[in-house]
Structure 1
Amino acid sequence: MARAVVALVAATMTTTGCVLPLPNFGGSPRPAASPEAGWRLCPEIPAALLGKAPSDFTFECKTVKVPADWNKPDNGQTIDIEVMRARATDQRDRIGALMVNPGGPGASGIDLAAYLTRGLPVEITRRFDIVGFDPRGVGRSTPVDCYTDADLDATFASDPDPVTWPEFQEVDALTRRMVDGCKAKYGERLGLFGTKQAARDMEAIRESLGEGKMNYLGYSYGTLLGAVYAQLYPQNIRAMVLDGAVDPTQTSIESSEKQAMGFERAFDNFTAWCTQNRSQCPIDGNARAVVEKLMQDAETNPVGNPDGRKATPGWIFWGVVSSLYTQARWPDLGQALADLQDGKAEAIFALADSYADRGPNGEYTNLFDANAAVNCADDGDPATIAEIRKLQSEWRQKYPLFGAPLAVGMLTCSVWPTEPEPYPTGKAEGAPPILVVGTKGDPATPYEQTQKLADMLGVGVVLTWDGEGHTAYPETRCINRYVNNFLINLEVPPAGTVCPPQ
């Protein structure tokens, strides 16, 4: 079950801010009132996500109203933040609430909390309430919802590396049309969805829970959100675990290049695994050469899918990206590539659609709308078109499969219409030790960022997993032992602790 949870954790990929999201769920009737004031029972949420609401947990939800702009808290404008609390029926020796965030930005913390009732070690669920929230702009909270399904389909299908100027202009025009739609709908409100605002929302949630100090588990972008909270409210932290570290001090260009490096490294590791495991990777040829040829052939003769879509280079690219977030999906990629060689596209679309959060009916969640709004509100120095074109050419040589797409992905923030509100990047003075967990084979938040986040905070302590995939907890017994002990007993792992792959 741990692998399933890790696979669901979302991570920023700046090629339009794409993420590996949690599954979506449909609408449901308002549940009956809970005995505790302000809360309502909401078992329909885990039931929709898991097939059945776990009988060993109670699920309660509430709406927390916060200022739309924390810089102007008294102007009367508010937004809603939806929160869910999962509590084990056999809870004992309760420590408090453990707030969780899956990253993105744009992924649902409520969904993550539901999944974690089946993924976290029982030592944790017996001692903590699991509290998830959808950050501002996301899902059930006041959302940013301005991209059409047709435009998102066009985005994923588009050439990930438009080489010629006319090809690049096509991608640029699509990006601008989508951004203009957001501007027309939201105007200046688009600037209110940044990480600094969301961190202040977290403090409002903590206060609404009636808890003392916060316990927090943040994955991927959730490490950035946690780091900003730690700088703003260091005295309100009991225990904080940041898994899949984002370096807050890097520019968006530096972040994109590091991701290109990370995904190239992960794909090299997949290629080596594929060569050694032909029964699970039944492709004809070297994996990298196979992907390059499939994408090249798809430019002129894409394989058709029963739903009418064509497996263009873009869809193939995102299917590959999707599979690199966890080693558990490497066999899925191997089979999908073999199927494409045989003229069948269903498997590669299944991988790409899971990444895109695209439902069987062709509808998307607002994951990418929110992702763009948060990333661009945070980006104080977005790349220019000229810089993107220059980097596209340079990174194509340095990172052959992922470099150019990561450069092109910076287009959204380069044309975003609102002024940014950058987050702080300093010490968390007055905070207790913060556990920063890094995975050596992480493609989305490369391991090199782990120590940088720990150093920036000043109180960070690094725990390393010598494994593959994005994020580490709760992946192995070794990682679980150290993280559980930290959350429960506040015991910090010895300096330099490295957990083995298995």
Structure 2
Amino acid sequence: MSIPQRTLTAAAAAVLAATVLGTLTAAPASAADQRHGRHDGLAWTDCPSKPGPPHDPAQRCAALAVPLDYQDPDGEQLTLTVSRIATAKPGLRQGVLLIIPGGPGEDGLDRPSRAVQQLPQEVKDRFDLVGFDPRGVGASTPVSCGLDHDDLAPVRLRPWPAPDGSIDGNLALAHRFADACARNGGPVLRSISTANEARDIDRVRRALGERRISAWGTSYGSYAGAVYATMFARNTDRIVLDSNDDPDPSKVGRNWLAAYGQGVEDRFPDFARWAAAPGNPDRVADTPEEVRPLFLDLAARLDRAPLPWPGADPAELNGNVLRGAMLQSLYADARFPDLARLMLAGLGRRPLPAPDVMPPQAEPVAQNHIAASAATLCNDVSWPADPAAYAKDVAADRAARPLTAGMPVNVMPCAFWPFAPAEPPVRVTDRGPANVLLAQNLRDVATPYTGARRLAAAFGERARMVTVDSGGHDVYRANGNACGDAVVTDFLVTGRRPAEDVSCPAG
């Protein structure tokens, strides 16, 4: 497929699998619910079970009806599934911290269980942690385009051109993808957009009985949070936007794919330094300066002569598989060994690792995630449809940024999407309370610093930004930077933003 999925891997899909299939089981109100004594209009029950780490026993779930079409609020409804871990200290409670998932198309139901392990105690004391599966995703009313199994191969998750730069295969896949969504997506697929996600978030706020709501949105969730803070500015309390998307309303999702071109250039030197460090058991070169040409040469060699890789999908290590592994590895320093070991295998110094294969039970989740992701990208804004223009852009980008080989500007299913956007993209503005804090790494592969600066400019005096001298994706409580974490924590606990933007050194 041709969707820029920022975090989905076969393993991640397996972890998500039962979310689509789970059901809510009615149960008595928890002690925490009873202590709060609030009537929020939601019937809190046991949460759906799923493989992987169990959710926190304090996490409860509820089903909320929201309009399929907000122009017809009393018409057909769909289900939004919401989760909550209530604060154990109601006397300190400030309100609700809604965790907005990324993707687009990622599930968010178990985010409170992850956050309760991640957040400092003073934040957990003051907020109920609330998550949700967005419309079309997981335990909410789900969607699928029913793609062919072969189109779910990891190497197709992003539109890598052919080794010679041809985009004919990408064009064919984009047409197949769009046609499948037209046949199988139905009205829920057509209803998915960032503006509707913002409206759904406000329905969650109302159902929780909150006059204002705080939110923490990461990656695509930063854009969804920015749109919510624009459309429902007076309903917001403390808004933290982490790893920020460029909000340019003329492009939106097209910018998010294109961001990889700049993001890889910003981030690859971090990998190069690590991969040449003395004493590194996965060292690939003697100096950082040697790593980039070594990678480019190896990718070109694998374009010409792929290595057989039994059990993988596709069953070979080719140049685009290597490039895809590079993109994934740059999300976090902890993933650097994965790329280094694959490079060493391609160079003949190591055997190929065991392939990461999507188990059969994960395919429905992949179908769901991919469809919801495509719907958001394609329903938010119109995309150019001229194949010749894409071919020209790819050729220029391959020359300018060979690490990403033209992928960031290549064709997407949105070019042939059968549905026109129902409304223009939301333009983020400076109108509203000064209650937004952006958190940003300087070298983020998926949401580069340049895009974060544009979001900050759009918000104007509504926002401050804390910038961390770090690489990878995700900032707050994600990379061990005490300075950046302290700024965000203080804002959440006290509601006070820094007087000026803050720059945090590495470490």
Q: TM-score, normalised by structure 2?
A: 0.86
Q: Answer yes or no: is the 8 Å Cα contact 1:280–1:335 preserved in 2.
A: no
Deviations 1:199-255 (A, max 9, x none): 101000110111221100000111111111111111101110011111212625554
Alignment correspondent of 1:129: 128
Between the aligned partners of 2:195 and 2:347, the Cα distance in structure 1 is 47
Q: CA deviation at 1:195?
A: 0.5
Q: Does 1:31 align with 2:18?
A: no
Q: Answer yes or no: is the 8 Å Cα contact 1:442–1:468 preserved in 2.
A: yes
Q: Answer yes or no: is the 8 Å Cα contact 1:15–1:405 preserved in 2.
A: no
Distance change >3 Å, CA 306–CA 48, structure 1 → 2 = closer
Deviations 1:37-71 (A, max 9, x none): 633433554x7442x4445xx11111111111113
Alignment correspondent of 1:399: 401
Alignment correspondent of 1:160: 160
User: Which 10-residue stretch deviates more, 301-310 or 141-150?
Assistant: 301-310
Matched AA of 2:503: V
Which of the residues 473, 494, 498 maps onto 1:489?
A: 494
Between the aligned partners of 2:360 and 2:346, the Cα distance in structure 1 is 20
Distance change >3 Å, CA 164–CA 230, structure 1 → 2 = same
Q: CA deviation at 1:306?
A: 3.6
Alignment correspondent of 1:70: 70
Deviations 1:439-458 (A, max 9, x none): 10111111112232122123
User: Which 10-residue stretch deviates more, 212-221 or 114-123?
Assistant: 114-123
Q: Does 1:326 align with 2:348?
A: no
Distance change >3 Å, CA 34–CA 455, structure 1 → 2 = farther
Between the aligned partners of 2:285 and 2:432, the Cα distance in structure 1 is 57
Between the aligned partners of 1:244 and 1:383, the Cα distance in structure 2 is 29
Distance change >3 Å, CA 368–CA 345, structure 1 → 2 = farther
Distance change >3 Å, CA 382–CA 460, structure 1 → 2 = farther
Between the aligned partners of 2:333 and 2:175, the Cα distance in structure 1 is 35
User: Which 10-residue stretch deviates more, 296-305 or 221-230?
Assistant: 296-305
Q: How does 1:283-298 map to 2 (within 5 A)?
A: 283=284, 286-298=290-302
Distance change >3 Å, CA 189–CA 127, structure 1 → 2 = closer
Q: How does 1:184-203 map to 2 (within 5 A)?
A: 184-187=183-186, 189-203=188-202
Deviations 1:404-451 (A, max 9, x none): 01122x322111111023321142523232101111011111111223
User: Which 10-residue stretch deviates more, 375-384 or 226-235?
Assistant: 375-384
Q: CA deviation at 1:390?
A: 0.8
Q: CA deviation at 1:95?
A: 1.1
Matched AA of 1:272: R
Q: Does 1:315 align with 2:302?
A: no
Between the aligned partners of 2:276 and 2:329, the Cα distance in structure 1 is 17
Q: Answer yes or no: is the 8 Å Cα contact 1:274–1:280 preserved in 2.
A: no
Between the aligned partners of 1:60 and 1:478, the Cα distance in structure 2 is 33
User: Which 10-residue stretch deviates more, 85-94 or 413-422?
Assistant: 85-94
Matched AA of 2:470: G
Distance change >3 Å, CA 158–CA 486, structure 1 → 2 = closer
Alignment correspondent of 1:414: 415
Between the aligned partners of 1:123 and 1:111, the Cα distance in structure 2 is 21
Q: Does 1:258 align with 2:245?
A: no
User: Which 10-residue stretch deviates more, 267-276 or 485-494?
Assistant: 267-276
Matched AA of 2:397: W
Alignment correspondent of 2:352: 345
User: Which 10-residue stretch deviates more, 228-237 or 35-44?
Assistant: 35-44
Calculate percent identity across the aligned residue pairs.
28
SS of structure 1 residue aligned to 2:185: helix
Q: How does 1:110-189 map to 2 (within 5 A)?
A: 110-146=109-145, 147-153=147-153, 156=156, 160-162=160-162, 167-187=166-186, 189=188
Runs of 5+ consecutive residues of structure 2 not aligned to the other structure: 34-40
Matched AA of 2:134: P
Q: CA deviation at 1:389?
A: 0.7
Q: Answer yes or no: is the 8 Å Cα contact 2:81–2:133 preserved in 1.
A: yes
Between the aligned partners of 2:118 and 2:204, the Cα distance in structure 1 is 23
Q: CA deviation at 1:488?
A: 1.4
Q: Does 1:336 align with 2:342?
A: yes
Distance change >3 Å, CA 84–CA 163, structure 1 → 2 = same
User: Which 10-residue stretch deviates more, 204-213 or 277-286?
Assistant: 277-286
Distance change >3 Å, CA 59–CA 258, structure 1 → 2 = closer
Deviations 1:149-208 (A, max 9, x none): 33211752898222658x522222122112211110135653311101111010001101
SS of structure 2 residue aligned to 1:346: coil
Alignment correspondent of 2:37: none
User: Which 10-residue stretch deviates more, 384-393 or 265-274?
Assistant: 265-274
Distance change >3 Å, CA 92–CA 335, structure 1 → 2 = farther
Alignment correspondent of 1:242: 241
Distance change >3 Å, CA 127–CA 466, structure 1 → 2 = same
Distance change >3 Å, CA 129–CA 157, structure 1 → 2 = closer
Between the aligned partners of 1:433 and 1:280, the Cα distance in structure 2 is 46
Distance change >3 Å, CA 134–CA 54, structure 1 → 2 = closer
Alignment correspondent of 1:6: none
Between the aligned partners of 1:249 and 1:158, the Cα distance in structure 2 is 21
Q: Does 1:471 align with 2:477?
A: no
Q: CA deviation at 1:275?
A: 1.5
User: Which 10-residue stretch deviates more, 292-301 or 144-153?
Assistant: 292-301
Matched AA of 1:70: Y
Distance change >3 Å, CA 359–CA 479, structure 1 → 2 = farther
Q: Does 1:390 align with 2:384?
A: no
Between the aligned partners of 2:240 and 2:83, the Cα distance in structure 1 is 20
Distance change >3 Å, CA 157–CA 196, structure 1 → 2 = closer
Q: Does 1:18 align with 2:21?
A: no
Between the aligned partners of 1:16 and 1:262, the Cα distance in structure 2 is 17
Between the aligned partners of 1:215 and 1:225, the Cα distance in structure 2 is 13
Matched AA of 1:151: D
Alignment correspondent of 2:101: 102
Q: Answer yes or no: is the 8 Å Cα contact 2:136–2:189 preserved in 1.
A: no
User: Which 10-residue stretch deviates more, 185-194 or 396-405?
Assistant: 185-194
Q: How does 1:53-92 map to 2 (within 5 A)?
A: 53-54=55-56, 58-74=58-74, 76-89=75-88, 92=91
Between the aligned partners of 2:55 and 2:492, the Cα distance in structure 1 is 26
Q: CA deviation at 1:148?
A: 3.7
Runs of 5+ consecutive residues of structure 1 not aligned to the other structure: 1-13
Q: CA deviation at 1:121?
A: 1.5
Q: CA deviation at 1:382?
A: 3.5
Distance change >3 Å, CA 222–CA 280, structure 1 → 2 = farther
RMSD: 2.7
Q: TM-score, normalised by structure 1?
A: 0.87
Between the aligned partners of 2:88 and 2:148, the Cα distance in structure 1 is 42
Matched AA of 1:211: E
